[in-house]
Structure 1
Amino acid sequence: MQLKALALNCTLKPGRGAQSSTDAMIAVLAEAFSQYDVTVSETVRVAALDIKPGVTSNEGDGDAWPGLREKILAHDILLFGGPIWMGQISSVAKRVLERMDAFLSETDDEGRMPSHGKVVVAAIVGNEDGAHFSSAQLFQALNDVGWTIPAV
């Protein structure tokens, strides 16, 4: 069975032409995943989408989250990439986490969130200016909404 991964690039740069350090990190991980027959089908530049603020799965007219949510849940693995700014994960990454909060109330008949059985891998870009803190923030939030986080 071939596993599919979706990469989220939570850089602050909205333009697709503007390369970011997160793009470079995602490329390294995509290459590593390919050695295990995991295909990274797409990298989504989240800042290029109109993800409305909120904590539901649809915040109304023009909200791009429902489409992105559908893509995320259609994959086995989420590669969650983003930079560190001012010692913490980017505001774009935080917006994605806020929207995943809806998973808490979207359980199936067995009480499982939509992320049940799916794996997330973090690709935090930055040096010692908050990498541990940012990883801890990201992993705790993703754990809270049901993702499986593999040990390193």
Structure 2
Amino acid sequence: MPLNDLQKRLADENTANFSDLKALFINTTLKPSDRAASHTEDLMQDSLALMDRCGVGTEYLRAADFNIAFGVSPDMRKEGAAVDDWPEKIWPKVSEADILVIGSPIWLGEESSICRLIIERLYAHSGQRNAKDQYIYYGKVGGAVITGNEDGIKHVAKTVLYSLQHVGYTIPPQADCGWIGEAGPGPSYGDETEDGKRAGYDSAFTRRNLTFMTFNLMHMARMLRDAGGLPEHGNQTTDWA
């Protein structure tokens, strides 16, 4: 769903400086890049395009392209896994990002298994501390992009956003967006339909929510960066040692 004129104008008229912010988009489709295109990626790219146009430093990765071990330790090789790409290839990007956007398809009404894997690996670091002795994700912002051809956008977004805030991410207003087609077999987001159009591209609801989500993520990240993160009074772990 390429940016329309309104989205381009909103980005071009933006006066906030987002150039020092970094955003990481993690797509948790079950398909590696060399196997098939991703409908979730198709939608995520619109949020990426908006952030790029506003000056945010963005990076996108598809989790299925990596060998990420399951578990809740920062490095699962220390727990017996033969291979784990998380410590060197994924975690540094997560650690550096001011904004984390997780994208997931819907399977049986739930997030993908890889989405759950990413959440568990994020949780593995939740006991680590930042320079203020707060949990490591304090001062970072999270959002969710969901696609599918069955019910579940709000349910999956709720799961993802709850998990992110629980480990310390700040969730701004309207921090999710998504698109679903008719229940049952049928075109997924971005598929060409019989009339030559692309499924979901004409959804004003999805386009609006994606735009709100993207700007709210950037605004909240800007506010937190300018404030030096969250104030540390009352949330330092040393008080509870």
TM-score above 0.5, yes or no: yes
Partner of 1:12: 30
2:75 equivalent to 1:54: no
The alignment yields a C-alpha RMSD, in angstroms, of 1.7
Structure 2 counterparts to residues 1-152 of structure 1, below 5 A: 2=19, 3-16=21-34, 18-40=36-58, 42-60=59-77, 61-67=82-88, 68-108=90-130, 110-126=132-148, 129-152=151-174
Q: Distance in 2 between matches of 1:63 and 1:17?
A: 21
Contact 2:71/2:120 (8 A) holds in 1: yes
Spell out structure 1 runs of 4+ moving beyond 3 A: 108-111
- Residue identity (%): 34
Structure 2, unpaired ranges of 5+: 1-17, 175-241
Q: Deviations over 1:71-102 (max 9, x none)?
A: 11112111211111110110000000011112
The residue type equivalent to 2:44 in the other structure is: I
Q: Distance in 2 between matches of 1:109 and 1:30?
A: 29
Please report how far the alpha carbon of residue 57 of structure 1 lies from its aligned counterpart in structure 2 after TM superposition: 0.6
Contact 2:106/2:150 (8 A) holds in 1: no
TM-score computed with the length of structure 1 as normaliser: 0.90
Contact 2:70/2:76 (8 A) holds in 1: yes
Please report how far the alpha carbon of residue 109 of structure 1 lies from its aligned counterpart in structure 2 after TM superposition: 6.1
Q: Distance in 1 between matches of 2:112 and 2:61?
A: 15
Per the alignment, in what secondary structure is the counterpart of residue 118 of structure 2? helix
**Structure with more of its chain in strand, by fraction:** 1
Per the alignment, in what secondary structure is the counterpart of residue 106 of structure 2? strand
Query: 141-150 or 9-18, which moves further after superposition?
Result: 9-18
Distance 1:117 1:137, change over 3 A: same
Distance 1:109 1:37, change over 3 A: closer
Per the alignment, in what secondary structure is the counterpart of residue 105 of structure 1? coil
Please report how far the alpha carbon of residue 65 of structure 1 lies from its aligned counterpart in structure 2 after TM superposition: 1.0
The residue type equivalent to 1:52 in the other structure is: A
